[in-house]
Amino acid sequence: MSVTLLCLEGDGIGPEIMAAAKAVVGAASQRFELDIKFNDAEIGFAALKRVGTTLPNAVLERAREVDGVIIGPVSHNAYPPVAEGGVNPSGRLRREMDLYANIRPAKSFDGAPRPLGKKIDLVIVRENTEGFYADRSMHVGPGEFMPDADTALALRKVTRRASRRILETGFRLAAARREKLTVVHKANVLRLSDGLFLEEARSLRAAYPGVAYEEQLVDAMAALLVRDAGRFDVIVTTNMFGDILSDQASEIAGGLGLAASLNAGSEHAAAQAQHGSAPDLAGQDRANPTSLIGSSAMLLRWIGERRSDEALVRAALAVDRAVAAAIDDPKTRTADLGGSAGTEDFTRAVVVHLEQL
């Protein structure tokens, strides 16, 4: 059964790391006798220049039609106002395609430096469609507004439906891993919104009796990740808390350049690196493509599990092993990991390891 992936390069280092991800996924397709096809489309500044918007409607429609999407990093903070075509492509794709679960592993590599000297292996499951994010909290218009020139207000949206489905995702993932779930909140201050989130978490506990359950305040959680991140397995939380904690956990694991991420819904999924577009590195063959390669492997696994296609799942696991092997070798590590390999050299090393598995 064929697989069609829509590849959206994005801005900055996006074209370079997208080329790396396609090379590795293409090698996996050959190695495991899959039929993976790539479609390309423009988003970001390239699309803005050509058609006047950073996310053309035709790209969004195509994203709904394919089996999965790979999204390169975007420089949305540098875009013009929305009225001038500067929408955030990743935010709009998440909202329009209902990609409600942002799944972000933070796992140490043996060959990568670890700032705190500790190995960790955890997953943060972040709600992706509401919360404090201004482009996801209102049906019409943004969730931020200014009643006068000196006052800015922001609305936070937390619904029972979105809370329940992201919590169910967390419970299911924990049941398939080390059977421990940590629910992160700030219900001592956000009594109604995080209170609702906690109500749903507690109501689901009985359905997963094998999963050890705990709750942590978000500020305590930030401290505990520094003190002893190895004690955690799956962490589930609301949008903004998950965004912040996942970056922290990824840095503890070895850096954002290693941090894979999958945006998943009931019908669609999109692979996306955790890090930004790093325009200061663009075009210099210096970017570490591990994050987008790992995200692409997560996408292959998601498709494989939905189709009960063992070949796709094996291909995803093989990509992860090949990446780890390339990082283990000092000669093929990128500069951010203390090596000297460029983006292309690292990618070639991953492909060689993949072919030898």
- d(C-alpha 125, C-alpha 263), whole Å: 10
- Stated pTM of the model: 0.95
Tokens at residue 272, please?
Answer: 């996306």
pLDDT on residue 118: 85
328 is a catalytic site residue: no
- Catalytic residue among 11, 233, 243, 336, which? 243
- d(C-alpha 162, C-alpha 239), whole Å: 11
- Chain centroid to CA 69: 12
107 is a catalytic site residue: no
Q: Do 299 and 325 reside in the same domain of the chain? A: yes
Residue 340 domain-assigned? yes
Neighbours of 321 (CB within 10 A): 15
Of 323, 317, 262, the closest CA to residue 295 belongs to 262
255: left (phi over 0), alpha (psi -120 to 50) or beta: left
Residue 129 domain-assigned? yes
- d(C-alpha 202, C-alpha 224), whole Å: 22
Residue 350 domain-assigned? yes
Share of the chain above pLDDT 70, in %: 100
- Catalytic residue among 100, 133, 157, 194, which? 133
* End-of-domain residue from the set 205, 221, 253: 253
CATH of the domain at 248: 3.40.718.10
Calculate ∠ Cα 326-125-290, nearest 5°. 15
Residue 107 domain-assigned? no
Q: Do 137 and 206 reside in the same domain of the chain? A: yes
Residue 189 domain-assigned? yes
Residue 295 domain-assigned? yes
- Residues 293-324: tens digit of each pLDDT: 999 999 999 999 999 999 999 999 999 999 99
Q: What is the DSSP letter of 74?
A: -
- Catalytic residue among 40, 49, 110, 219, which? 219
- d(C-alpha 252, C-alpha 256), whole Å: 9
Q: Do 340 and 229 reside in the same domain of the chain? A: no
Q: Do 248 and 263 reside in the same domain of the chain? A: no
Q: Do 131 and 234 reside in the same domain of the chain? A: yes
pLDDT on residue 142: 87
Sheet with 36-41, strands from edge to edge, namely 36-41, 3-8, 68-71, 269-272, 262-264, 101-107, 121-127, 234-237, 180-185, 212-217
Q: Do 281 and 313 reside in the same domain of the chain? A: yes
- d(C-alpha 100, C-alpha 103), whole Å: 10
Pairing of strands 234-237, 180-185: parallel
- Catalytic residue among 186, 208, 233, 336, which? 186
What residue type is assigned to position 342 of the chain? G
Mean pLDDT of 83-103: 95
- Catalytic residue among 98, 247, 309, 320, which? 247
pLDDT on residue 111: 86
Please list, in sequence order, all residues whose beta carbon lies within 8 angstroms of the beta carbon of residue 220, skipping any fewer than 6 positions away. Answer: none
- Tally the domains of the chain: 2
Q: Do 216 and 262 reside in the same domain of the chain? A: no
Place of tokens 């690196």: 273
For residue 208, the enclosing domain spans: 114-141+151-253
Q: Do 188 and 200 reside in the same domain of the chain? A: yes
Q: Do 197 and 262 reside in the same domain of the chain? A: no
* End-of-domain residue from the set 253, 287, 319: 253
* End-of-domain residue from the set 253, 275, 298: 253
243 is a catalytic site residue: yes
The DSSP secondary structure of 326-341, one letter per residue, reads HHHSGGG-BGGGT--B
- Residues 4-19: tens digit of each pLDDT: 999 999 999 999 999 9
pLDDT on residue 357: 83
Q: Do 264 and 327 reside in the same domain of the chain? A: yes
Residue 20 domain-assigned? yes
Residue 356 domain-assigned? yes
Q: CA separation (Å) from 277 to 6, 21, 251? A: 19, 15, 17
Q: Do 64 and 88 reside in the same domain of the chain? A: yes
247 is a catalytic site residue: yes
- Residues 28-52: tens digit of each pLDDT: 999 999 999 999 999 999 999 999 9
Q: Do 164 and 179 reside in the same domain of the chain? A: yes
280 is a catalytic site residue: no
